[in-house]
Structure 1
């Protein structure tokens, strides 16, 4: 069992996240490889795919959304993700326990007390499958049956209790809109069918490893994954990080040398590379986590976050440096910003 330095963990993560060299895979294959793309901001997945996929054009993702091959829905960590249709049906059952707990302890918990949430969910399902709409709008209709409850509270219950998909034009590049929802079963015409936890762990390691059990739990929002890792141990290899924590990995997964050269990459808000581990120092220092929480797009130089960036209405990219970089690195950042500007203006 060898020791993997932080730089080697960084290189492995960057490689598996398709950030060392842009991939020639399709957008759909890339989304499945990444096991979901953060989509809290509607246009973030487009930037996330542009920075990873050679020749990516917004229309490719728009076609996946309108063609029902990919969807935007509440998944890992209780946040909106872009996933393939197959993964939507397979992953969503695993998130229900966490979402149920949120209703019991979150900001709406006291106002939901005494309510039959299963009955609310079934009434909401009938409404949203009949006419897709916002959850607050559905909540207004539910008040006819539960007049003592606020419509926003009832709508929030639907958000957690039902597997809801945000329908286009929400999430399109050229136009968007408010979040109009229906159930994933109604939209895709198929029932949910949970994939095995072993598949979740293996695919997580393929996209984010090497990783600890706590890392996988942080990414997924699931608990008690230790027994899944232990059952898979004969198929995996193990290492230690510099702090002595056990890391699991796939035997054939890439683990580049620590000095592997990396290009500049621009990441969108809440990119999963920044959120997929309990210890995020393999890509961002602890004292910089605020830029992620604050929803700022980030810049990777040599694999680590060194700056944030923003996109103006005219398509101009502006960089705010956290570190003082040498001129050669700033030149590389400027060149990547120019490429993004050209892509945005052409899109």
Structure 2
């Protein structure tokens, strides 16, 4: 079966809860989304606001506090919020990537200790992290144990050891100075990584399919050979499809694939929203001409306008309201709907961080815009 680009887009929107807000518990919403990019503390809140009917940020505060949702270094070797039940599988699946990215890096190897030395440290370190510990506390502990400059060792270990970010307060549960706490699972060196990857692949297809080998590899930042192996092992339970360019795609039988003409409401997505990062072929949601506008040279992914399921511009909070920059002209009814979204977003931000993402304002200095509007109360 050959799918059109628009059919792929609607499949993604349906599974990512972007065809209409759903009445879901926040932990269940995170589980449905598989993972929510959490590089910026505000982004999981804004991601769920776009997807959950009647979203109350206090519910996510509580989910983080009681560890129904946890934050850790996982997919693409960056911070994600995931359902607590998914964390052990995702952590195990990512071990080869996390270890390779850190233990072979000069920042670690220049310390003079070996990977085996670092591994031998983990069990005792997790005991020390039975309560929240700061970066400074972790580095002082490592220096006392190993007698070497601890910065590179801690930089490596904190990425692949089973450590969570502990709630530190602030408007979005986590402040700029992180604290770490043991995840409560034993350290591993990847013995069960392939089995865990099969679980991750199935969860990915559930939330982002249909998708190619390259898409899965991009989402998690694991090697394509590992992804092919997992898909081969799962082949009997998967459906094979063909993308608009002839690429082989995989999906779960019976998974939602709405009609191409299914309406898609406009949304104001947060920075680094996963729907923009989950595919090797991002044209599913980002027109190719706009990709470099919203994904900056250092990897920052700007807050975007999603119109008819595709990126159509960017937004930012300014003193007067929500400033929206559309990359192409939008119809009046779309602007009206975006204005409604902007009013609701300002109400959410008002009690938390009214000028969210303000540190990224420099990216707007050279953005082209067919239309720039400030949407205010």
Runs of 5+ unmatched residues, structure 2? 353-377
Residue 43 of structure 1 contacts residue 171 of structure 1 at CA under 8 Å; is this kept in 2?
A: no
On the 8 A contact 1:185/1:191 being kept in 2, the answer is: no
Residue 275 (structure 1) aligns with: 277
Taking the aligned partners of 2:291 and 2:121, their CA distance within structure 1 comes to: 38
Q: Distance in 1 between matches of 2:320 and 2:15?
A: 29
Assess if the C-alpha contact under 8 Å between 1:164 and 1:182 holds in 2.
yes
| 8 Å CA contact retained: 2:93, 2:200 | no
Cα gap change, 1:259 to 1:214, in 2 (>3 Å): same
* Deviation of the 1:148 alpha carbon: 3.7
Contact 1:89 1:191 in 2 (8 A): no
**SS of 2:305 mapped into structure 1:** strand
Deviation at 1:77, TM superposition (A): 1.2
Q: Distance in 2 between matches of 1:11 and 1:229?
A: 23
User: What secondary structure, in the 3-state scheme, does the structure 2 residue paired with 1:71 have?
Assistant: strand
Partner of 2:3: 4
Q: 1:315 to 1:185 in 2, by over 3 A?
A: farther
Aligned length: 340
TM-score, with structure 2 as normaliser: 0.83
1:185 is paired with a residue of what secondary structure? coil
Mapping 1:196-345, distance limit 5 Å: 196-223=196-223, 224-290=226-292, 291-292=294-295, 293-312=299-318, 316-345=321-350
SS at match of 1:86: coil
Q: How many angstroms does 1:172 deviate by? A: 5.4
> Is contact 1:120–1:154 with CA below 8 Å preserved after alignment?
no
Compute the displacement of 1:346 (Å).
5.5
Q: Is the 8 A contact 1:136 1:152 kept in 2?
A: no
Alignment partners' CA distance in 1, 2:141 and 2:168: 23
1:227 Cα shift? 2.6
* Aligned residues: CA RMSD: 2.4
Question: Residue 77 of structure 1 aligns with which residue?
Answer: 76
**In structure 2, how many angstroms separate the alpha carbons of the residues matched to 1:255 and 1:304?**
17
| Alignment partners' CA distance in 1, 2:169 and 2:196 | 30
1-side partners of 2:264 and 2:200: how far apart?
28
C-alpha separation in 2, matches of 1:144 and 1:191 = 21
Once residues 170 and 206 of structure 2 are traced to their aligned partners in structure 1, the CA distance between those partners, rounded to angstroms, is: 27
CA contact (8 A) 2:75 2:220 kept: yes
Cα distance in 1 between the residues matched to 2:77 and 2:51: 25
Flag the 1:102–1:198 CA change in 2: closer, same or farther, 3 A. Answer: closer
**What is the rounded CA distance, in whole Å, between the counterparts of 2:170 and 2:35 in structure 1?**
15
Q: Where do 5+ consecutive residues of structure 1 fail to align?
A: none
Does the 8 Å CA contact 1:204/1:216 hold for their aligned counterparts?
yes
Please say if residues 170 and 177 of structure 1, whose CA atoms lie closer than 8 Å, have aligned partners that are also in contact.
Answer: no
Moved more, 135-144 or 83-92: 135-144
